[in-house]
Structure 1
C-alpha cells in the first residue's frame, strides 16, 4: 500500500519549519547594533486590531529564511528580496492572528505537542550537542526553537478547532476515495525478517551516519567477522533468534524487537534485500555484508502482494481528506480573520496579493 502522508503540522509553513517569523523579540545573534538602530528606526510595517509587526521582525525572519535555504544547498536571490519579505510578513501576521485566537486549552495541548516533537527529534539525532549545533547553524538556541515551535503548535490547535472540526469527513467520502483510488492501496510483496547486525564500524567516528563511519582496523574487523560467523552457526542450529538479536545485535532500531523488520523491495540496502527475498521462510541466510557490517538474517514470513482492505486504511484516508478540506478552507479563513482585525500593510514593498495559507505536504501519496 502507498502511504498517505499524515498532516501533522498544518501551520508548518507559517513559521518556516524552525524559522521564527512571528517572534516578538529578535534572536540575540540578529539584534541590531545601537548605532544602526538610531540611523534606521524600527518602524511598524503592518498593524491591525491586536497586531503590530516591526521591520526588525521581518528582517529577523528573512535572516532565518536565508539560513534555512542555505542549509538545503540553495541560495536566495537578492532580486527576490521584496517578494520573499512580503511572504514572510504575511506569515508573521497570520501567525499573530491565530495565536491571538488561542484558548487556554489550545495552549495546553500545543505545549504538550511541541515538547513531544522536540523529544522525538532529539531521539533521532546522535546527541544533544548535535541538536544544538543544528539550531545554531540557523541562528536559534534551544529556547528560541521551542518558542517558535510552540507558536506553530498553537496555530495548529486553533486551526483544528476553528476549521478542521467544522469540516468533518464522512464515511461515504472515505469509501468513495478508497474505491476511486485503488492503486493507492496496493501493497507490494513484503518480507518479515529478523537480523543480527555485527557492526565493523569505528564507534569513535563522530559521523552521524552509521554507514559512513570509518571501518575498524583490519584485525578488529576480522574479530567481528568471526563473532558474526559464530552467531550464524548458532542460528542455523535452531537457537532462539530473537534472543540472539537482543544479546548481540548492534542495530538499535530492531534489537529490542528481536531484530525484526517488515519491508518491501527498495527499502533496505541491496545486499540485505537480495538475501532476504531469496531466503525461504523459516531459513537463515548465509552471512551478508553491507556498509553497516555483517548480518545474520532469518526470514520469518513472505507476504504476497495484495490490496489492503478498507478497514485498515480508513483512518489514514480520513486524515488525508480532512487535510485536503483544511487546505481548501484556509485562504478564506485567513482572509476573514485579517478583515476582522482590519490589518494594514504600511510598507508598499511588503504587500502580497492574498494571505499566505498554510500548505500541507504534497497531496499525492508517495510510494513506500
Structure 2
C-alpha cells in the first residue's frame, strides 16, 4: 500500500521549493520505509534546487536525516521495524574492487532504493543523494539505514548523515590528525566547524579556524578552535605560519571549495604536511600551482568524500561520544523548523546566520 505524505520538492531550476503530497511505496526487496524524525537543511539541497548537481527535476530534497524504520522488504536483516537510524548516502555494495580490497569507504557501487517515490500524478521524483528526507516518510535501500542509540536527539543525530560527518571525517579519517598536531581549517560553516570539532576530538594541540565572518569564527571557538584568523583583514598564509612557529600547520582542511582558498591551504601547511579538500568546487573551477612547489613541499594533497566514512563504523561511535558529552552535536543545531520553512532556511544559510536549520517532524 502506498503512503501519501507531505514533502518538499524542487520542481524547476531556481524556483522556490514547494510543499506538496509525495507518494511513497511500501518497501520492496532490500528496501526500508523510514518515518523521518528530523532532517538538516544542507547546502547540497540548495545545489539541487539551483541545478548544480544535475537536471533531473523534480527533486525530493533533504538527506541529512534520522528516523525510525517502519517496515522492511524481503531479504533485509540489518535493520528492523522500530530501529532508530541515521540515513546515509553510502550503502556499500561489498563486491566492488574497493570493497574487496577492504576499503569500503571508497565503494564505487553504492546503491539506493529501486522503487521511485512520486507525485500524485505519477511523476517520479529524484531523491536528493538517494534519500529524499524532507518528507514525513521516505523509501531507501536498507543499507542506507545505520542503527544508533535511540536516546540521541534526532535533530543532532541526523546531522551525521552528511555535513557533520564530512567535516569530522575530513580531520580524523582523511587528514589522519593525531595527538599534538597543528591544524588549520579554512571555511567555518557547518562542514568546517565539524572539522574543527574533529581535530580537537583527535587530540590536535592547536586548531586554527579561518573565515571571513566573525560570527562563524566564534562558533568555531565554541567547538574547539584555539585560534582564529579573519581572512577579510588578515593574510591567511602568514597568519597560520605565525601561529605555528613560522612552519605552517601539519594538516590544513579546505572547507570552502574555491581555487583561492585551496591555494591558501597549500601554502599554509608545513613541509611534508597534508592538505584535505572537503569543500565542494563547481565544474568550471581550476587550480594553477607551480609543479616545483608541489614536488618540493612533499606531503599529501587529499580529497575527502563524505569524510571517508564508513557509516556502520563511524555513526554509532560518534553517537556514543555525543552521549558521553565528548562531542557536542547539539551545538550544530542553530534552529528547528517545520517543513514549510525550508525556503527561508536556505536564505538564512546564504546569509551565514545558521550552522544548521533542522526540520523536525
Q: Shorter-chain TM-score: which interval?
A: under 0.3
TM-score by length of 1: 0.20
Higher relative contact order (CA 8 A, sep 6+): 1
TM-score by length of 2: 0.20
The structure with more radius of gyration: 1
More helix by share: 1
More strand by share: 2
